[in-house]
Amino acid sequence: MKIIMLGAPGAGKGTQAKMIAEKYHVPHISTGDIFRANIKNGTELGMEAKKYMDQGLLVPDELTVRILLDRVAQDDCANGYVLDGFPRTIPQAQVLDDELAKLGEKIDYAINVDVPDENIVNRMSGRRACIKCGATYHIAHVPPKKEGVCDVCGSELVLRDDDKPETVLNRLKVYHDQTQPLIDFYTAKGVLKTVDGTKDMQDVFQAVTDILG
């Protein structure tokens, strides 16, 4: 079962991808996680990706495709996978389709987690991250015990640059310009399914499992 998660930044597709991976025993492959690991380790690829991510821009196709194809060729992907954050553009989707076709494979479902922009800005501007251990909170939904202080290590909590409203709005603009066409692309292939991402997380997941069976 090969699944692609679509949805704007902050729509909750990553959370749903993890839940799908756990239930169906397939790996959750997030390009964001791969990029962050490279950034943390100070690799050349990571530093290059960071330049784009800090500005709320998409990492170029050639960087992303190279990482992703290596990842899905690994043994743990034999029974399928959930792709989160890839493809983001039509060229990426076409490369993925072409590479899978060479293997006699294809994407089974593209699940679009639909959330209005206004909801996303409110969600993301409420997020806070620990500067030391990386633990994350939300001032409305998952607040720390003490305002501005991490429950885990006691360090300061900050609003990350990529969660600031102006960056979020830029990311949403980039998403609508470059990624929205994927919805049409996968609709034409007959594999697109849309769920209402404004609902409770478990209700969204129920809608997803209804689709996947």
Per 3-state DSSP, the chain is made up of helix, strand and coil in percentages (nearest 5) of: 50, 15, 35
Which value, in Å, is the radius of gyration of the alpha carbons in the chain? Answer: 17
Report which DSSP code applies to 60: P
Q: What contacts 98, CB < 8 A, 6 or more positions away?
A: none
- Give the class (CATH, top level) of 2-115+179-212: alpha beta
Residues 51, 66, 106, 160: which is the catalytic one? 160
- Hey, how many other C-beta atoms are within 10 angstroms of the C-beta on 40? 10
**Parallel/antiparallel/unpaired status of strands 81-84 and 28-30:** parallel
Residues 13, 71, 123, 128: which is the catalytic one? 13
Catalytic, 13? Answer yes
Residues 2, 123, 128, 171: which is the catalytic one? 171
| Model confidence, pTM | 0.77
Nearest residue to 12 (alpha-carbon basis) of 158, 90, 93, 115: 115
Biggest CA pair distance of the chain: 54
pLDDT tens per residue, the chain (213 residues)?
999 999 998 899 989 999 999 999 999 998 878 788 788 889 888 898 888 888 888 788 878 877 788 778 889 999 999 999 889 889 999 989 988 998 899 999 999 999 999 999 988 899 999 999 989 999 988 999 999 999 999 999 999 988 899 999 998 998 888 888 999 999 999 999 999 999 999 999 999 999 998
**Parallel/antiparallel/unpaired status of strands 157-158 and 2-6:** unpaired
Tokens 């079962």 belong to residue: 1
Catalytic, 123? Answer no
Let me know: does 193 contact 185? Beta carbons within 8 Å.
Answer: no
Residues 71, 88, 123, 128: which is the catalytic one? 88
Residues 2, 71, 123, 127: which is the catalytic one? 127
Catalytic, 128? Answer no
Catalytic, 66? Answer no
**Parallel/antiparallel/unpaired status of strands 2-6 and 109-114:** parallel
Catalytic, 171? Answer yes
